[in-house]
Amino acid sequence: MAKTTRRLEVASPVPADIDIANSVEPLHISQIADDLNLAPQHYDLYGKYKAKVLLSVLDELQGSGDGYYVVVGGITPTPLGEGKSTTTVGLCQALGAFLDKKVVTCLRQPSQGPTFGIKGGAAGGGYSQVIPMDEFNLHLTGDIHAITAANNLLAAAIDTRIFHESTQSDKALLNRLCPPNKEGQRSFSEIMFRRLKKLGISKTKPEELTPEEVKKFARLDIDPDSVTWRRVMDVNDRFLRKITIGQGPEEKGMVRETGFDISVASEIMAVLALTTSLSDMRERLGKMVIGNSKSGDPITADDLGVGGALTVLMKDAINPTLMQTLEGTPVLVHAGPFANIAHGNSSIVADKIALRLVGPGGFVVTEAGFGADIGTEKFMNIKCRYSGLNPQCAIIVATIRALKMHGGGPEVVAGKPLDRAYVTENVPLVEAGCINLARHISNTKAYGVNVVVAVNKFSTDSDAELNAVKAAALSAGAFDAVICTHHAHGGKGAVDLGVAVQKACENVSQPLKFLYPLNVSIKEKIEAIAKSYGASGVEYSEQAEKQIEMYSKQGFSNLPICMAKTQYSFSHTPSQKGAPSGFVLPIRDVRASIGAGFIYPLVGTMSTMPGLPTRPCFYDIDLDTATGRVIGLS
C-alpha cells in the first residue's frame, strides 16, 4: 500500500456527501506529490490541498514507460446519473489503497456556476470522493477563470476591430496597426507576420505593401452576421442567452445581437482539453475561427492579433491540478469541456503526465462524459486520436435503475419520487433493459479494448437482478462484469472491479481502432457515427448542408466529428430508451471549433447557458465565519 493512502471507517446508512468529505482531514498535497515521486520543482502549491503539476515534468520523465490507460463510460443514463464519477474515484481508491497499485484518477473540473443553481457538486459521492470538496467545486486553481478572461478578450477584440475598421481608411488602419517607433520607423509585430503569411505576402516592412496588400492585411472586413464567437461567464445567467450589445452612445449605433454561454462551453476549454504542449496550445488558440470576412474567408484569433495574449492568459491553466481522494490516492483535475458541443473529456496533458507518473504496471483512470455512445466514442475518436495514447480497458457503468428504465420502466424524473418498479425486484425488466448495455458493449469493444461492466449497486438491488446483468454483459462480449459498492464502502467496495480491470489491461494486445478515418468527407464521418447509434440514415437541414459545404471549402473537412446529441437515448429522441434502430438522424446545423480541432453537428437544440430555479441552492450556502468553513454545499 502506498504510503499516503488511508483506510476509511464507513458508517451505515451512508451519511451526506458533505459530511463524509468534512469528516476526513486531507493530507498536505505535498505528501500526495511525494508519493508520486514528484519533486518540489515539478509542482506549484496552491494552498495546502491543491498543487499545479508543471507540464515540464513530461520532459523529465521522457524515458520511462506509461501505465495502463482506463476510460470510464456508462450506459444511457437516467436524469439522476448512474455514478460514473463515483465509480471512477472508487476504482482508483481500490487500486491505490487496497491493491497496492500506482494509480492516478483524471477528472474534469466542474463548472462553478451550476454549484449555485440546482445540481450538487461533481466530486463523486458517498465514500468515493475527491477532497476538499469545496475547493474542487469552486475556483480550484483558476483555470476556468482564465478561460473566461481569454474568451472575453477575444470577443472584445472582435467588436472593437469591426468598430475601428468602420471609421478608418486602409492607410489609417495600417498606420495605427504599425505605429512609428522613436526613430519614426514602422514595423510589423511578430503576430502580424502570421497574417501576412496566411495572405501570401512575404514583405517585411509596412511601407513595402501595395495599396491592395494594405487593404488585405489591415482590413479584416469581418461580416458581423457571421461571428460565431460568443462571450462567456461561469454563472447560470439565463438572461444573457440572447442580448443586444453596443447600445451606448459612444458605439455609434453599431449594435449586434449575440449572447453568453457558460464558460466551460468556450472553445478555449476544448483547446485546453485537447492540447498537448505549450507550443501546441499557442497554435490552437491562434487558429480559432471567430467568423468570416465578407468574402467568406475564416478570421482567426491571430488575424486579430490576440493569439499570443490568449496564450499568456492560459499559461498556468495548462498545468493540471493535483488533489486527492478520500483514501489519499492522487487525482489530477483538468479541463471540463461540454459533452455535447465539445468532447466531454478531461485533458490530454493530465492523462499523459499521469501515465508517465504511474509508469508500467500502474493505472490511469479517466472519465468520459455522458453515455458511452457519446463520451467513450469521443474519447476514442477525438481525444486519443490527438494524444496518440492507447487505452487498454473501457469500463461501462450500469445501474439496475437505468436498465429497468431501458426495459420499459416508467419515466424517471429528477426531484420526483422513484416509481415502485425501481425499488422492488423485477428481473424481466432488468433483462429487457440489457439491450442498451449490450449495444454499448459491442460499440466499445470495436475500438479494440477490453470492456468491463461495473454495476453500481444500490441497496434496493436484488442478487437475481445483479446476476441477470452479469450474464447479459458477458454474453454481449464484456471481458468481465462486476458488482461494486464503492459508494457505501469506498475503495474496498471496488476491489473486485480493480482486479477485473487489471486482468483486462493485461490481456489486451491490439492497438486502438478508430470508428472512421479522418480523410473521408464530413458526411461520411457523421454517417459512421450515426450508424453506431443504430440510425439507418442521416438527414441534413439546408443550414447543415450549407455549413458542411463552407467548412469543406475552407479546408476543414479532415477534422474529427463531435456530435452534439442528447445523452438520454442512442437516438436523437430522449424518450427512445433501450437500443433504438432504423431511425433517421437529423442534423439541424453544423458548427466548428477549428482551434480545438473538431466539427460539431447539432442534433437538436443544445442549451449552452443554464438558468437558476426559483430557489437556487445558494440559499443554503454560507461561510461559518468563525471557522472559515463552507456550509451547505452539496
Smaller CB separation from a second copy, 30 or 573: 30
Q: Which amino acid is at 473?
A: A
Instruction: Considering only residues 51 through 70, tell me which ones interact with a second copy, judged by CB under 8 A.
Output: 52, 56
> Under a CB-based contact definition with an 8 Å cutoff, are residues 187 and 143 in contact?
no
Instruction: Considering only residues 577 through 616, tell me which ones interact with a second copy, judged by CB under 8 A.
Output: 611-616
Smaller CB separation from a second copy, 416 or 582: 416
CA–CA distance, 87 with 475 (Å, rounded to integer): 23
Contacts of 511 (CB under 8 A, 6+ apart): 390, 448
Instruction: Considering only residues 211 through 250, tell me which ones interact with a second copy, judged by CB under 8 A.
Output: 231, 233-250
CA–CA distance, 534 with 542 (Å, rounded to integer): 24
Q: How far is the CB of 379 from a second copy (least distance, A)?
A: 27
Instruction: Considering only residues 361 through 400, tell me which ones interact with a second copy, judged by CB under 8 A.
Output: none
Smaller CB separation from a second copy, 309 or 432: 309
Partners of 298 in the β-ladder: 292
Instruction: Considering only residues 305 through 324, tell me which ones interact with a second copy, judged by CB under 8 A.
Output: 305-309, 311-313, 315-316
Grid cell, residue 604, equals 437538436
Q: How far is the CB of 230 from a second copy (least distance, A)?
A: 13
Instruction: Considering only residues 560 through 579, tell me which ones interact with a second copy, judged by CB under 8 A.
Output: none
Per CB under 8 A, the segment of 90-98, 111-119, 377-385, 573-581 that binds a second copy is 111-119
CA–CA distance, 435 with 423 (Å, rounded to integer): 21
Per CB under 8 A, the segment of 139-147, 289-297, 350-358, 557-565 that binds a second copy is 139-147
Contacts of 283 (CB under 8 A, 6+ apart): none
Q: What is the rounded end-to-end Cα distance, in angstroms, of the chain? A: 31
Q: How far is the CB of 506 from a second copy (least distance, A)?
A: 38
Site string for a second copy, 142-181 (x = CB under 8 A): x--xx-xx--xx-xxx-xx--xx---x----x--xxxx--
When binding is defined by CB under 8 A, the residue of 62, 295, 509, 625 that contacts a second copy is 625
Smaller CB separation from a second copy, 5 or 151: 151
Q: How far is the CB of 360 from a second copy (least distance, A)?
A: 29
Q: How far is the CB of 32 from a second copy (least distance, A)?
A: 15
The two beta strands, 256-258 and 128-131, are unpaired
Smaller CB separation from a second copy, 50 or 406: 50
Instruction: Considering only residues 462 through 501, tell me which ones interact with a second copy, judged by CB under 8 A.
Output: none
Site string for a second copy, 277-306 (x = CB under 8 A): xxx-xx----------------------xx
Phi/psi of residue 131, each to 5°? -130, 160
Smaller CB separation from a second copy, 545 or 620: 620
Instruction: Considering only residues 245 through 274, tell me which ones interact with a second copy, judged by CB under 8 A.
Output: 245-251, 254, 256-257, 259
When binding is defined by CB under 8 A, the residue of 139, 470, 503, 588 that contacts a second copy is 139
Interaction between residue 457 and a second copy (CB under 8 A): no
* Closest among 555, 432, 425, 451 to 504, alpha carbons compared: 451
Query: What is each CA distance from 510 to 51, 393, 447, 450, 472, in whole angstroms?
Result: 36, 11, 9, 10, 25
Instruction: Considering only residues 77 through 106, tell me which ones interact with a second copy, judged by CB under 8 A.
Output: none
* Closest among 536, 614, 604, 594 to 566, alpha carbons compared: 604
CA atoms lying within 13 Å on the CB side of residue 66: 18
**Which helix (H) or strand (E) element contains residue 31?**
helix 29-35
Grid cell, residue 289, equals 475561427
Q: How many residues bind a second copy (CB under 8 A)?
A: 94
Q: How far is the CB of 171 from a second copy (least distance, A)?
A: 13
CA–CA distance, 282 with 318 (Å, rounded to integer): 11
Interaction between residue 34 and a second copy (CB under 8 A): no
When binding is defined by CB under 8 A, the residue of 8, 35, 46, 367 that contacts a second copy is 46
* Closest among 468, 465, 452, 461 to 487, alpha carbons compared: 461
> Under a CB-based contact definition with an 8 Å cutoff, are residues 305 and 192 in contact?
yes
